Copies of this chain bind each other. A is one copy, B any other.
Amino acid sequence: MRLSRYFLPVLKEDPKEAQIVSHRLMLRAGMIRQQAAGIYSWLPLGYKVLRRIEQIVHEEQQRAGHIPLLMPTLQPADLWRESGRYDDYGEEMLRIRDRHKRDLLYGPTNEEMITDIFRSGNISSYKDLPLTLYHIQWKFRDEIRPRFGVMRGREFLMKDGYNFDLTKEDALHAYNRHLVTYLRTYERMGLQAIPMRADGGPIGGDYTHEFLVLADTGESEVFYDSEITDLTFGDRQIDYDSKDQCQAVLEEFTSRYARTDETHDDALFQQVPEARRRVARGIEVGQIFYFGTKYSEPMGATVVTPDGSRVPVHMGSHGIGVSRLLGAIIEASHDDKGIIWPEGVTPFHAGIVNLKQGDSATDSACETIYAELRAAGLDPLYDDRDERAGAKFAGMDLIGLPWRVTVGPRGLANGKVELTNRRSGESEEMSPKDIVARLSSIYAPVLNTAVIDK
Contacts and interface: CB of A to CB of B under 8 A. Distances in A.
Residue in A6, A42, A70 with the greatest tally of chain B CB atoms within 10 Å: A70
Interface size class of A (residues with CB under 8 A): 35 or more
A413 interface: no
A120 B30 CA distance: 11
Contacts of A140: 74
A91 interface: yes
Contacts of A133: 7, 44
Given A98-B142, A142-B98, A74 B6 contact: no
Contacts of A41: 69-72, 113, 117
Nearest to A118: B7
Could you say how many copies of this chain the assembly holds? Answer: 2
Given A36-B75, A74-B36, A138-B138, A120 B69 contact: no
Contacts of A138: 72-73, 138
A231 interface: no
Contacts of A123: 7, 9
Given A73-B73, A138-B138, A67 B98 contact: no
A1 B121 CA distance: 18
A2 B65 CA distance: 10
Contacts of A131: 5, 7
A165 B48 CA distance: 24
A120 B120 CA distance: 48
A370 to B, nearest CB: 10
Interface in A75-104: 75-76, 79, 91, 94, 96, 98-100, 102, 104
Contacts of A1: 453-454
